[in-house]
Amino acid sequence: MKKIAVVLPSMQGGGCERAVSLLLPVLVKRFQISLILHEARINYEIPSEVEIIDLKGDISAEHSILFKIKRFFNRIFILRKVLKERSFDLVFSFIDLNNVTSYIAWRLAGSQCKFCCTEQTLCKEFFDNNQMANNKQYLMKLLISYVYKRASRVVLLSHSMESYLSSEFNIKRDFDVIYNGIDKEVFNRVGETELGLTLEEIFMKAPMRFINIGRLDVCQKNQEFLIRLFPKIKETYPEVQLFFLGEGENRPVLEDLISELNLDETVHLLGWKNDLAAYMRHADLLLHCAYYETFGNVLIETIATGTPVVTTNCNAVIPEILQKGEYGYIVESYDELEYLNAINAAMKKKDDENYSQKISDYARTKFAIEHIQAEYLKLCNEVIYRE
């Protein structure tokens, strides 16, 4: 059985980690899989057949530049040791700078196997709205361009990302564009997966529910926008309550803002939930207002349950996956009136069975995890057995 090393910083939260968790059950049936994590933070179920290798590193963001530089090189040499000691047929890495450290470690190990990577982060808005990334943009472009030009295969999340890397990073090569996928058995309109689940009582008692799902991160996910807008939303929908599902280092910031605006009774931070599909099904709308996204898994997952979504046009991938607004309401700016108008339009559709079925069928067909798993399986077979 051929051996594949799958390398990530961790398996904690995030769309990339969720995508990998959905790929592993299929890959492990055909290959011997070692999941190499720089820190073994795991929020998803991992098949028992998958070997987990914990490099016992530190992935937290709260460190000095000097510490991060030292950590960058430590990751390379620790991973190099593992790759040198083990005999893999393919090293498959995920996420921008992790792909860089994985590639360098792979080269230093003198491995004769193939190296592939998946890019899940980079877009124009990532640099525009992330000061730390913007400060090291030149170096990141240099390193990532070097690696992606030399990897056996590079998988991207969208055609918009393909255009961006080709033009802004000057990477002239063939990419594999594979969307993230959803589990149709989980994200559906029927709700069979809710048997035995107990949703938060405060959520279920609310007569009208708007939700936001994602890491609590004011620099990217922009939850502050919704909290400040909420009093105006309640003018039209007095019974509505707003629920945030997710965790993050900015929880105290959002808690303070909720208290400052006297919204403690109607705006709730519910924390991380594993049963997201059930919350989506019971919500009236999902409100998304990020400054940037490289895919927007939560949008696809939510419409798969038949619940309408309102989102800012935070990246070229949004109109790509929502078909220019055919399957979700896209707000072109962060103008409050424009966002409120989109909410009103979406609310008119929330009880429309035809619309609900339409958006669900689209998401569960185009982004079915079976198709994505098949594409990754095909890619691995091609790289290991043909190239």
Measured distance CA(98)–CA(36) in Å, rounded: 12
Average pLDDT over residues 223-233: 97
Average pLDDT over residues 279-299: 93
pLDDT band, very low/low/confident/very high, at 387 (cuts 50, 70, 90):
low
- Asked whether the predicted pLDDT for residue 336 surpasses 90, the reply is yes
Measured distance CA(166)–CA(145) in Å, rounded: 10
* pLDDT reported for residue 152: 97
* pLDDT reported for residue 198: 78
Give the pLDDT confidence of 169-205 residue by residue, as tens digits. Answer: 999 999 999 999 998 888 988 765 555 567 899 999 9
Give the pLDDT confidence of 38-51 residue by residue, as tens digits. Answer: 998 898 899 999 99
For the record, the structure tokens of 153 come out as 């295969």
* pLDDT reported for residue 382: 96
* pLDDT reported for residue 135: 77
* pLDDT reported for residue 196: 53
Burial class (CB in 10 A: 0-12, 13-18, 19+), 46: middle
Give CA separation, 258 vs 213, 230, 231, 363, in Å. 17, 10, 11, 33
Give CA separation, 8 vs 18, 31, 57, 178, in Å. 12, 18, 12, 18
- Asked whether the predicted pLDDT for residue 360 surpasses 60, the reply is yes
272 vs 15: which has the higher pLDDT: 272
26 vs 387: which has the higher pLDDT: 26
* pLDDT reported for residue 347: 97
* pLDDT reported for residue 227: 98
For the record, the structure tokens of 254 come out as 């959002």
Residue 19 contacts residue 180 (beta carbons within 8 Å)? yes
**Looking up tokens 């299929």, which residue turns up?**
26
The CATH 3.40.50.2000 domain(s) of the chain lie at: 3-181+368-385, 192-366
Residue 18 contacts residue 46 (beta carbons within 8 Å)? no
Nearest to 318 by CA among 295, 286, 288: 295
* pLDDT reported for residue 328: 97
Measured distance CA(294)–CA(159) in Å, rounded: 11
| Percent of the chain residues topping a pLDDT of 70 | 97
Average pLDDT, the chain: 92
**Residues contacting residue 379 through CB under 8 Å, at least 6 positions apart:** 116, 153, 155, 176, 178
**Looking up tokens 């696809």, which residue turns up?**
300
The architecture of the domain spanning 192-366 is 3-Layer(aba) Sandwich (3.40)
Residue 347 contacts residue 307 (beta carbons within 8 Å)? no
* pLDDT reported for residue 315: 86
* pLDDT reported for residue 220: 86
* pLDDT reported for residue 4: 98
- Asked whether the predicted pLDDT for residue 63 surpasses 70, the reply is no
| Percent of the chain residues topping a pLDDT of 90 | 74
Measured distance CA(341)–CA(348) in Å, rounded: 11
For the record, the structure tokens of 17 come out as 């980690």
Average pLDDT over residues 23-27: 95
Q: What is the CATH number of domain 3-181+368-385?
A: 3.40.50.2000
* pLDDT reported for residue 344: 97
What is the value of pTM for the model shown? 0.86
* pLDDT reported for residue 228: 97
306 vs 135: which has the higher pLDDT: 306
Q: Which residues pair with 115 in a beta bridge?
A: 91
**Looking up tokens 């992790």, which residue turns up?**
98
- Asked whether the predicted pLDDT for residue 327 surpasses 60, the reply is yes
* pLDDT reported for residue 314: 87
* pLDDT reported for residue 61: 67
Give the pLDDT confidence of 111-154 residue by residue, as tens digits. Answer: 889 999 999 888 888 888 777 777 778 899 999 999 999 999 99
Phi and psi at residue 31, in whole multiples of 5°? -135, 160
Q: Which of 159-168, 291-300, 371-380 bottoms out in mean pLDDT, i.e. has the lowest?
A: 291-300
Measured distance CA(256)–CA(249) in Å, rounded: 13
